[in-house]
Structure 1
Amino acid sequence: MSNVTRVTENDKSQDGDDPTDLSSSSQSQLDNEIKQNQKVKKRHKNSNTIKSNSKTESNSYVSIESDSEDDNLKKKRKLKYKNRSSGKEIETITLISEESDNGTDRHTQQINQIDLDTTDVSNGSSSDDEGQLRKAMAMSLQPFSDDDEDIQHKTQPMASKLGNLKKGEKLKSPIRMMKSKNYEKLDPTCNEDAVSLHDLIGSPDLISTYQFDMMIDCDFILPHITADPLNLDIFVIHNGEDLNLKPEHRLMFKITPIKMICAGYGSHHTKMMVNFYKDRTAQIVVHTMNLTEMDYHGQTQMCWISPKLHQLKIESLNDEKNKENQLKKQPDFKIDFINYLKKYKKIEIDQLVQDISMYDFSPIKAEFLSSAPGKYEINLENNDINNKEVLFGYGKLYQLFHKHSLTIDGANCNRITKFVAQISSIAAPFDSNSSNIFTHILNPIMAGNKEIVLQPGLQSVHNAMALHKYEPVVIWPTVDEVMNAMFGYLSGFALFFQKERKFNNFSYKNQYAVLKIFFYRWGSKNKNDLGLSGRKFVSPHVKTYTSTSNEFENVNWFLLTSANLSKFAWGAPARGYGAKGDARDKKTIHKYEIKSFEAGVLIHPDLYKIEGEGEAGAETGSVVELVPVFGSDELEDNFNNIINDIKGEVVKVPIRFPYDIPLTKYSQGDEPWDAVAKEKAIASANGSTSLI
């Protein structure tokens, strides 16, 4: 069993020009508003629970004295709660796990109280504090009780319906909406097919989970876990923020914290889960939320859930030839996923690499597009279509788009194509001038432009738009959209953008001059319209990128990711390889550097080609289209989204959208929500934070 470790990490990691997520103070403020205005149910109903004194918490720790099994195969764990300074025992707790009548594990606890001196002079804590802590632990170690429907009404996680494609199977969107229970008060149908946090981590069969995120509130997520704590390993990979873990939760759960501190202004911004179950299956979840109550209840979030993955046949791996054939059948997702995990260079993640390598990824219909800190090179001579180079960020985007002919030039599109970025943070220009990562690097890559990096300014953007027939679109909430959202100005705390900056830093102002003509609203203009997506009045924390050449009748591809418009997330050209760079090998290779960890999944039509039995390996006559859907994960019945083998048939794959169409461009009176608007809203707040 893993050691139970004390987790009190107070180090803060600066997110620099890409402050995608909220500070702890902002989080606390919005959490309070959510609880007050929307009456969010408390996770712990026991009114007798006494919170531990912070002085006691900081001067005590948990020690595992023994792990054992008795003759009746009851698993026992003895833990001693000790004073950190003196080493004096405060409490001994024995957790016992046994098999119940219905075959599931249950656990009880035996608490042996230890006599305490009236006062411990070494740390200044009183016996009253220790007594309160003892009572708190005794009650909190009982199985969680909660009348939250998310926690009680389901016992199994939702698996993606998109596993092995079978003839006659009806397709559902691989991109899922996270539940917004508060929004049901406005729109009772808004959560159709939506996913709850309990769906992701609430299975009683969960035996191990890896939680990758920037901010994690353990006391918020742990009540969603129903698996036996004695048989569950929890690995928390985070950015260095305080994990907010109560002493009783430290005792009950085996939690291994892994703190990732990135150089410069980089951050561990990935939002992902890897879960393992009793039946030896595994599941990967890529999502967009910090694991906090604020992010879960107060913002628009989405996720991608892999099918349940099964282990490769061990006997086939013993034969080298069979092993080689098995690995050849594995999709690029597995290779890219493992390459990403290796970038952590942590013992616990190395073990995850070994474990997940034994699983069959062939049911996955997605590409893994991630970012990891480091310096990389793109081979421009062959477009890196053979995946010879291990790339991340915009280099991986370049690689995937050329390999699967997703660029405008590769698709031979003759119509105007919209490149759409819907994000929650727009950072500083990557060249300290006016060049935004979206308009000056990502768009040229998506279009198939010969030069990866455009010259600074707006003229180069217009030239590329005319040459390749595309239009950039940036979906960003206006001031009135934020103020009319569910939590008023508090809804804008997770939206980061600066039109200008103090101390005469003109780069932000210059960047806005380039971007403002491409700004579109988050929802429709009509205030009485609840919107197609069911999230019009829930500010976005989701990040999506897509393109369409026919006003969203279908989309060419779709990317769900944690990456905002930031050079730290996507990368920035190395010195000499920018638009004005003079590196000697600039025409054959492109060098760039990434600062942050990010994770996303790319969906494109080639992933859904129907496998055939001939040498071609696919029904080349079938056409696959990705079609936007709103309010549910399925297309209407009159659409053909059923897999069959009729050559020439159009198969439609639904993709759930978080925002409304048709898109609404900013009008003359619209202003983007930015740092100045946030300051004004806070200053003028008169006690009411919701305008709806």
Structure 2
Amino acid sequence: MSQDSQHGKWTVSSSDDDDGELPPSGTSASQPNPPAVPSESSIRSASPPGPKQEPEEPSVEFKPEQDNTPVTSLAIGSEARRSAAMSQLNPVKYENTPSLAGKRKMEVSESSGWALSDSDDDEDVKGKSLANPPKKAPPSPKTKKAKVTNERPPSPHGRVYYIDEPEDFFESSIPCSNDPFRFYLNKVTGLDRKYNTGALHIRDILSPLFGTLKESVQFNYCFDIPWMVQQYPPEFRDRPVLIVHGDKREAKARLLQQAKPFPHVRFCQAKLEITFGTHHTKMMLLWYEEGFRVIILTSNLIRADWYQKSQGMWMSPLFPRLPKGSSETAGESPTFFKRDLLEYLASYKAPELEEWIERIKEHDLSETRVYLVGSTPGRYVGSDMERWGHLRLRKLLYDHTDPVPDEERWPVIGQFSSIGSMGLDKTKWLTGEFQRTMTTLGKSSLRPDPPMHLLYPSVDDVRTSLEGYPAGGSLPYSIQTAQKQLWLHSYFHRWKADTTGRSHAMPHIKTYMRVSPDFTKLAWFLVTSANLSKAAWGALEKNNTQLMVRSYELGVLYVPSAFNMKTFTVQRNPFPVSPSSSSGFPVPFDLPPTGYSPKDQPWIWNIPYSQAPDTHGNIWVPS
């Protein structure tokens, strides 16, 4: 089916997904059996890539790839991520003509349009490639040696070379001790060193500088177990780790297979009983000899998410152990963080988490100044509706924020990396339900309709990023969903972070906030795993008497009253980080946001882009 719009002409598959949400890894309502890892004969023909010329980086060097991780990125994560892995494995060079893309797709996108293959024809092409692969040039010796079943995560820079992090990249450092917010960005390979000051890598988080680790729990959506184990320092590398995941069937089997060489790794499967739900929470529980710590973050446990993506995290203080004989209510914070964390863990109904629930009860979490905002799958009525999802956020904003002058002029800004189906018009969920939550400020009866700016990368943002087009593999907005909600795109704003120096790392971070009209003050700020979707935030049903939530999500809410403030001051020019720069809140993008121009298109992962090369000279031809 073809459709003309402000974003050009699309050719849309007939196999549209009604919900628009990505199913959990390894499961799908419309695709019961996920694609198997392709054999070499089914991978598209391409010239063997050589090392590419990068912008001058004196601290960066090329290093030959070593296949030493027994897991393939081609089987990890969503279909969009697997397509990105394929693109990185065999990049398609820009040739000033779209002919190569045309061989893979029925219709090549016009300069301002989108295109999508017919699903039946696409399946036919795949089938033919397996049974009767097309003739192609003999691969180079290095390509022959490559084993798809024994891959290190593929490099965005081609088949043979990785860009190594600078020598000082993994030097652990403890963040500023006077930082009241404890909100941090991740380190990004390829940026000037000053833009990584104050940022943390996963190796920093697990460093002995933060405590003598005894055990840990990793809650997440995507896992590369061998890579994850390597991020623990050698002295902690055999300490027990519990993996909390939502994988089923083939994806679960792959996950268990990854962990076979690591007997200290155990698993806890989260129950996902509502279609299209995912276990999307990203949290670490770290138990030390000295105490206990919680990390709530936006990164998956795969190398790509800690390489050249923009991510965020909240790191708790080190919580000390309570004296023996303390009451059950001891160690609670003014934000009731301890109670809410225990309630969230109890929602899994998992025996594997019981010992962790008991450990948390034995620690003093009273220093916590943030509120926990979680989602767990289910249908909730009555007072339970305010325990989870966006109604949980609405309740917290109602109880713990105050109205501000000219409230109707304070915009809401949302930043996310994936978008679900929200209906045929904005009133179905976005403004009729979600915006009401986002605009709640205290007990004011005023229900203003302030501007809502939604930050989502354009095609050009992705194309010019450090990773180039493959960065779009972690932005799984599909053509099937996009073509049903053209109205949404008028809300979109560019991913622009020029003054922070981090604009070229594609965002996987998810943040939401309310900001003053001059963009100097914040009424509140939330960092979370939740993308812009009903599955993540919940949707009202039965004449608004029931909230249905599909997924597990987790985030932390900052409100000024918890820090004895009226509003937060937006921190300008946060890099390089210094003790004097921690007085304001470090918003992770430039303000004010820049709206899309008439020529801008939101990134859609499952259509080709062949009109212009990315930063590595390649085009995008999704598998």
Give TM-score, length-normalised by structure 2: 0.68
Secondary structure (helix, strand or coil) at the match of 1:655 reads: coil
Q: Who is 1:600 aligned against?
A: 555
Tell me how far apart the structure 1 counterparts of residues 392 and 69 of structure 2 sit (CA, whole Å). 51
Return the letter of the residue paired with 1:445.
T
**Aligned counterparts of 2:460 and 2:287: Cα–Cα separation in 1:** 44
Please show how residues 224-239 of structure 1 align to structure 2 within 5 Å.
224-226=231-233, 228=235, 232-239=239-246
Quote the residue 2:349 is aligned against.
345
**Residues 1:522 and 2:495 aligned together:** yes
1:159 Cα deviation after fit: 6.2
Instruction: Confirm whether residue 198 of structure 1 aligns to residue 203 of structure 2.
Output: yes
Q: Is 1:175 paired with 2:180?
A: no
Q: Are residues 1:535 and 2:502 paired?
A: yes
- In structure 1, the residue matched to 2:517 is 550
CA contact (8 A) 2:510 2:531 kept: yes
Which of 334, 339, 345 is matched with 2:338 structurally?
334
Contact 1:563 1:570 in 2 (8 A): yes
Preserved CA contact (<8 Å) 1:212 1:236: yes
Letter in 2 for 1:628: Q
Distance in 2 separating the partners of 1:445 and 1:327? 30
Q: State the match for 2:126 in structure 1.
A: none
Report whether the alignment pairs 1:423 with 2:423: no
Answer whether contact 1:207 1:233 (CA < 8 A) is retained: yes
Change in Cα spacing, 1:171 to 1:668, as seen in structure 2 (3 Å) is: same
Letter in 1 for 2:603: W
Deviates more, 1:296-305 or 1:199-208: 199-208
Equivalent position of 1:116 in the other structure: none
Conserved? CA contact 2:401–2:560, under 8 Å:
no
Question: Percent identity among equivalent residues?
Answer: 23
1:257 is matched with which residue?
267
Aligned ranges for residues 75-474 of structure 1 at < 5 Å?
149=167, 153-154=171-172, 158=174, 161=177, 170-171=178-179, 173-182=181-190, 184=191, 187-203=192-208, 205-226=212-233, 228=235, 232-240=239-247, 241=251, 250-262=260-272, 263-279=274-290, 281-315=291-325, 317=326, 323=327, 326=330, 331-377=335-381, 379=383, 391-406=387-402, 410-411=403-404, 413-414=406-407, 416-429=409-422, 431=423, 434-435=426-427, 437-448=429-440, 468-474=448-454
CA displacement at 1:603 relative to structure 2: 0.6
Give the whole-Å Cα distance in 2 for the aligned partners of 1:190 and 1:16.
42
CA drift of 1:595 comes to 0.8
Q: Deviations over 1:533-582 (max 9, x none)?
A: 222111111100011123321111110000011111010112332xxxxx
Partner residue, 1:661 = 591
Alignment of 1:474-623 (within 5 A): 474-498=454-478, 501=480, 508-509=482-483, 511-513=485-487, 515-523=488-496, 531-577=498-544, 590-609=545-564, 623=566
Equivalent residue, structure 1, for 2:617? 688
C-alpha deviation, 1:358, in angstroms: 1.2
Contact 2:332 2:364 in 1 (8 A): no
Offset, 1:495: 1.1
- 8 Å contact 1:207–1:231 — kept in the other structure? no
Which of 558, 571, 589 pairs up with 1:628?
571
Q: How many residues align?
A: 482
- In 2, Cα distance between the equivalents of 1:533 and 1:375? 41
Alpha-carbon deviations, 1:590-635, whole Å to 9, x = none? Answer: 32111100010101101112xxxxxxxxxxxx64534234444858
Assess if the C-alpha contact under 8 Å between 2:221 and 2:245 holds in 1.
yes
Deviation at 1:330, TM superposition (A): 5.7
Residues 334 and 368 in structure 2, CA contact (< 8 A), matched pair in contact too: no
Whether contact under 8 Å (1:422, 1:476) holds in the other structure is yes
Deviations 1:340-375 (A, max 9, x none): 111111111122111111111111111110100112
Cα deviation, 1:439-480, whole Å, max 9, x if unaligned, reads 332211233499xxxxxxxxxxxxx9x951511111111111
Structure 1 unaligned segments of length 5 or more: list them: 1-10, 54-145, 162-169, 318-322, 380-387, 451-463, 502-506, 525-530, 578-589, 610-621, 642-652
Instruction: Give the whole-Å Cα distance in 1 for the aligned partners of 2:435 and 2:61.
Output: 42
Contact between 2:331 and 2:363, CA under 8 Å: does it hold in 1?
no
What whole-Å deviation, never above 9, does each CA across 1:117-156 have from its counterpart, x for those lacking one?
A: xxxxxxxxxxxxxxxxxxxxxxxxxxxxx998578633x7
Cα contact 1:339–1:390 (8 A) shared by 2: no
Bigger Rg over Cα: 1
Q: Which 5+ residue runs of structure 2 have no aligned equivalent?
A: 1-23, 55-59, 73-163
Alignment partners' CA distance in 2, 1:435 and 1:469: 13
Partner SS for 1:681: coil
Amino acid at match of 2:220: D
Residue identity matched to 1:663 = P
Q: Secondary structure of the equivalent of 1:267?
A: coil
CA deviation vs aligned residue, 1:178-204 (integer Å, no higher than 9, x gap): 00022x2xx332111100110112337
The one-letter code matched in structure 2 to 1:277 is Y
> Which whole-Å CA distance do the structure 1 matches of 2:355 and 2:315 have between them?
22
The aligned residue for residue 129 of structure 1 is none
| Structure 2 match to 1:72 | none
Using the TM superposition, give the Cα deviation of residue 267 of structure 1 relative to its aligned residue in structure 2, in angstroms.
0.4
Q: Which secondary structure state, in structure 1, belongs to the residue aligned with residue 522 of structure 2?
A: coil
Distance 1:436 1:598, change over 3 A: farther
Task: Tell me if the contact between 1:276 and 1:283 (Cα under 8 Å) persists in the aligned partners.
Answer: yes
The one-letter amino acid of 1:679's match is I
Does 1 or 2 have the higher relative contact order (CA < 8 Å, sep 6+)? 2
CA distance in 1, matches of 2:380, 2:282: 23
Query: Residue 189 of structure 1 aligns to which amino acid in structure 2?
Result: K
Task: Map Cα deviations across residues 503-551 of structure 1 (whole Å, 9 max, x no partner).
Answer: xxxx8545321x2222111116xxxxxx122221111111000111233
Q: Whose strand proportion is higher, 1 or 2?
A: 1
